[in-house]
Amino acid sequence: MTLPSVADVLLQQLELTPQEVITCNSHALEAHIARQSPELQASLVAYADLFHAAGKLTAMHWALIQNYLIKPAAKLSQAERARLPVPPDHGTGGQSPEETKAIRDMRREHPVLKKLIDGINRALSTSS
């Protein structure tokens, strides 16, 4: 059984589909968010905060990959690289740095979530 994501639940509570979020006017989305109950607005602000925190962690993760795997390994021979405890070509998760970067970028630029978060931030004047 697959449970819905937090974003899916919030969109359901907002009575919006992902397609509606993508195609609607930003001002209309902000107005719709501003008309919601205080309880839902609090949940939306908490979700925006969670989204921003996850983004910061993702950025820190990428910096760690760059600073402790990619850059140091660039100066090593293949034999030296083979002896490293964490392979710089596919880290601990088995994905290449390029694949990891693509996942990072996909999360940061998700069209529905990015527009929803921007709408929450503007409608509810969150500080994040």
Give CA–CA dist 123/24, Å, rounded.
15
The mean of the pLDDT values for the chain is 93
Query: What pTM did the predictor assign?
Result: 0.83
- What's the pLDDT at 94? 86
Q: Quickly tell me which residue has 């962690």 as its tokens.
A: 57
pLDDT in tens, 35-59: 999 999 999 999 999 999 999 999 9
Q: Band the pLDDT of 92: cuts 50, 70, 90.
A: confident
Q: How far is CA 124 from the centre of its chain?
A: 20
CB–CB of 88/8 below 8 Å?
A: no
Retrieve residue 104's tokens.
């990072």
**CA dist list (Å): 66 to 29, 49, 78, 81, 103:** 37, 26, 18, 15, 15
Percent of the chain scoring above 90 in pLDDT: 75
CB–CB of 116/43 below 8 Å?
A: no
Retrieve residue 127's tokens.
């500080």
Q: How far is CA 125 from the centre of its chain?
A: 20
Q: Band the pLDDT of 91: cuts 50, 70, 90.
A: confident
